[in-house]
Amino acid sequence: MRKLLTVVIAIMLVFALSGCESNIENVVAANEEITGEEVEPEEKLSIITSLYPQYDFTRSIVGDKADVILILPPGVESHSFEPTPQDMVMLQNSDLFLYTGKEMEPWAYRLTGSINATIVDLSEGIELMDLDAHEDEDEHDDELMDPHIWTDPNLAIVMVDNILSSLKEIDEKNAEYYEENANTLKKALMDLDLEIRETLSKTTSKTILSGGHFAFGYFVERYGLEHMSPYEGFSPDAEPTPRRIAALIETIKETDARAIFYEELIDPKVSRVISEETGIEMLLLHGAHNVTKEEFEAGKSYITFMKENLERLKIGLGYDE
Ligand SMILES: [Zn+2]
């Protein structure tokens, strides 16, 4: 009797197990079908950008065809930025990495050849200016070139062309779409150039007095302006020289200067001292290297920053309608 019961239980177990097995097989098969369908749509291109101007330009060109990421966290000063290990993983897994140039992001230049992503130097085809091109000072550092090419909208157009070529290369089938968007953007940059030209031709003063590291070298070169800054180089870590601060204060007192311009994302200590010493107004000249969290969330464009700068330049340099 006991033996029979054992056999029955054994037979039932075999049935139960085989039933289970076929159920499991069905579930696995069903899952494969579902995941197979999910893999079907193409994955979006992943593009990483180092600074805000190329982040903004690239997103206008790619529309919804790619994910564009700005590697700088909001509010972080760009010259002293170094990527984290997580950033490195993200770069490694991206399709395209766009940076300004060797002088602006030395860390990016060092990545060339060591990650799988296509790396593009957006200053390609642009002749860099010596940092002291605008200065009559005797102190020179021949090694340093000015990396702030984007402050001249005409050079920003060259950057846009470089972004466009790299996109066409990695994503040929959307080339026409990219080209159309890039043309719209270039037209807007040309209009910006015209507006700046017209406005600056009517300002009373042609000298931008800056209390910060001066990012607008290409801008003043393009539009026939001059600038004075207590900083010798462009690095925000650099110390202003007392002689230059004194010269700046002297100039302000001798002329009818109306404002001292300060830069974004850095405590404007020097500008504040000069403003207090001379009584002139402090105005922001936004270099758009990077943006605050609020500016990022508002999606402010490079062109918006430049137009706002132009309004403040009208105040600071004096403007006759
Ligand atoms: Zn800078």
**CA of 35 relative to ligand 1 center, distance in Å:** 47
**CA of 40 relative to ligand 1 center, distance in Å:** 44
Beta carbons within 8 Å of 105's beta carbon, 6+ residues apart: 50, 51, 78, 81, 99
In order of 73, 154, 179, 308, the CA distances from 192 in angstroms are 28, 9, 20, 11
State residue 221's pLDDT score. 96
**CA of 235 relative to ligand 1 center, distance in Å:** 7
pLDDT digits (tens, 9 = 90+) for 250-259: 999 998 899 9
Residue 192 binned pLDDT confidence (cut-offs 50, 70, 90):
very high
SS3 assignment, position 284: strand
**CA of 213 relative to ligand 1 center, distance in Å:** 7
Do residues 298 and 273 lie in contact, with contact meaning Cβ atoms separated by under 8 Å?
no
**CA of 180 relative to ligand 1 center, distance in Å:** 31
**CA of 96 relative to ligand 1 center, distance in Å:** 23
Ordered DSSP codes for 20-47: HHHHHHHHHHHHHHHHHHHHSSPPPEEE
Q: For the purposes of burial, counting CB atoms within 10 Å of the CB of 123, is it exposed (0-12), middle (13-18) or buried (19 or more)?
A: buried
User: Which superfamily does CATH assign the domain made up of 45-125+143-193 to?
Assistant: Nitrogenase molybdenum iron protein domain (3.40.50.1980)
Do residues 149 and 127 lie in contact, with contact meaning Cβ atoms separated by under 8 Å?
no
State residue 5's pLDDT score. 53
State residue 239's pLDDT score. 81
DSSP label at residue 130: B
State residue 131's pLDDT score. 75
**CA of 38 relative to ligand 1 center, distance in Å:** 44
**CA of 70 relative to ligand 1 center, distance in Å:** 17
Residue 320 binned pLDDT confidence (cut-offs 50, 70, 90):
confident
**CA of 126 relative to ligand 1 center, distance in Å:** 17
State residue 277's pLDDT score. 94
**CA of 79 relative to ligand 1 center, distance in Å:** 6
Does the domain at 199-317 match CATH 3.40.50.1980? Answer given as yes
The angle that helices 153-170 and 175-200 make with each other, rounded to 10 degrees, is: 180
**CA of 272 relative to ligand 1 center, distance in Å:** 19
Q: For the purposes of burial, counting CB atoms within 10 Å of the CB of 162, is it exposed (0-12), middle (13-18) or buried (19 or more)?
A: buried
- What is the token pair recorded at 58? 């690239």
**CA of 216 relative to ligand 1 center, distance in Å:** 9
Residue 25 binned pLDDT confidence (cut-offs 50, 70, 90):
very low
Cα atoms in the 13 Å half-sphere on the side-chain side of 168: 14
**CA of 66 relative to ligand 1 center, distance in Å:** 28
**CA of 147 relative to ligand 1 center, distance in Å:** 7
Same CATH topology for 45-125+143-193 and 199-317: the answer is yes
**CA of 129 relative to ligand 1 center, distance in Å:** 14
pLDDT digits (tens, 9 = 90+) for 227-282: 999 887 666 667 888 898 999 999 999 988 999 999 999 999 999 999 999 999 99
Residues with CB under 5 A from ligand 1 (ion): 215
Shortest CA distance to 219 belongs to which of 319, 132, 149?
149
Do residues 3 and 11 lie in contact, with contact meaning Cβ atoms separated by under 8 Å?
no
Domain ranges within the chain, ordered by starting residue: 45-125+143-193, 199-317
Percentage of residues of the chain with pLDDT beyond 70:
82
**CA of 221 relative to ligand 1 center, distance in Å:** 16
In order of 107, 188, 238, 267, the CA distances from 80 in angstroms are 10, 31, 11, 15
